[in-house]
Amino acid sequence: MDQRSEVLRDEYQKRFEANAAYRDGVWRILCQDFFSQYIAADSTLLDLGAGWGEFSRNIVAHRKYAMDLNPECGARIAGHAEFLHQDCSNPWPLADNALDVVFTSNFLEHLPSKSLIEATLAEAFRCLKPGGKFIAVGPNIKFIPGVYWDYWDHFIPISDSSMAEVLNLQGFQVLSKIDRFLPYTMSGSKNPPLMAVKLYLSLPLAWPFFGKQFLIIAQKP
């Protein structure tokens, strides 16, 4: 295991272990009640920056890949997805037009340079089928300019507009751009009941008041 992988493993243990079960419950709701509408059951998808695999475990798809440098991801998605243990900005071991969906949440801001984000998006574009979707969720720097930097491994400030622009520059067509989607964290020190998460997703009128993460859905033409 290289040093970067060890650091990621230790960061996740310290940051998420206490709330692991709750986080999985939140993602079960997010997948069942929201993201499933964009992902057909016969899809082939890649969970980009899969972390501990909450999305990979809870979304329904025919074939799933989970990509991350954290080696623990492989154990946590075993039986649910195929683990791709690699730097996402390097070439992906997938054929052109192999994927129906690339999903990523709270990940791209952790890459240390914009050029690495661009290289990652280029690989996503190559591997998606024409008509395939790129779905991105992330903290919107417009609404959390201070606390954004409370995470030591946040490198790149991203807004809904800058995310949409770089996707356009990489050849994607943006289908939907929501500047306020989820709260900044739904699994921090104060965890709302899971029923409150379900209720929140069902009330888009509440999103502009509480949402601090963007949602971008783009398509490969």
3-state secondary structure of 49: coil
Predicted local confidence at residue 8, as pLDDT: 56
Domains annotated on the chain, with CATH? 3-219 (3.40.50.150)
Predicted local confidence at residue 21, as pLDDT: 87
Predicted local confidence at residue 185, as pLDDT: 77
Question: pLDDT confidence of 6, banded at 50, 70, 90?
Answer: low
Per-residue pLDDT averaged across 103-108, rounded? 98
Look at strands 128-139 and 82-85 and give their pairing. unpaired
Predicted local confidence at residue 94, as pLDDT: 98
Q: How many residues does the chain have?
A: 221
Where b means 16+ CB within 10 Å and e means fewer, 112-142 reads eeeebbebbbebbbbbbeeebbbbbbbbbbb
Predicted local confidence at residue 214, as pLDDT: 98
Per-residue pLDDT averaged across 137-151, rounded? 95
